[in-house]
Amino acid sequence: MKENIVKNKSFDFALKIIELYKILQSEKEYVISKQILRSGTSIGANVAESEAGVSRADFVHKLTISSKEARETIYWLQLLKKE
């Protein structure tokens, strides 16, 4: 099977998000950290799920959700930077 670069990169990104979450939790930042964890790890989960899409439309839908989760993660990271 061909290597899925998007899946690999989103998995690696999720690992970094988990590391960030742990740091934020240790600094007692609970609200944004939970949002970042949820949206940041959801990106890769939806990419992985898209591989089992029952139709082309289902595949595209899952990747669209991944894109939205990525945008949401950017938003939370921007808020965190301004904090």
**DSSP tag of 55:** S
Q: Which of these, 54, 46, 49, 59, lies nearest to 13 by C-alpha position? A: 46
pLDDT band at 30 (very low <50, low <70, confident <90, very high): very high
Name the amino acid, one letter, at 7: K
pLDDT band at 83 (very low <50, low <70, confident <90, very high): confident
Q: Of 9-13, 63-67, 73-77, 79-83, which gets the smallest average pLDDT? A: 79-83
pTM of the model: 0.91
Which residues are CB-contacts of 63 (< 8 A; sequence separation ≥ 6)?
46, 47, 50
Residue 39 predicted with pLDDT over 90: yes
Residue 43 predicted with pLDDT over 80: yes
Which residues are CB-contacts of 60 (< 8 A; sequence separation ≥ 6)?
53
pLDDT digits (tens, 9 = 90+) for 55-73: 999 999 999 999 999 999 9
pLDDT of the residue at 15: 98
Q: Would the CA dihedral through 70, 71, 72, 74 be positive or negative? A: positive
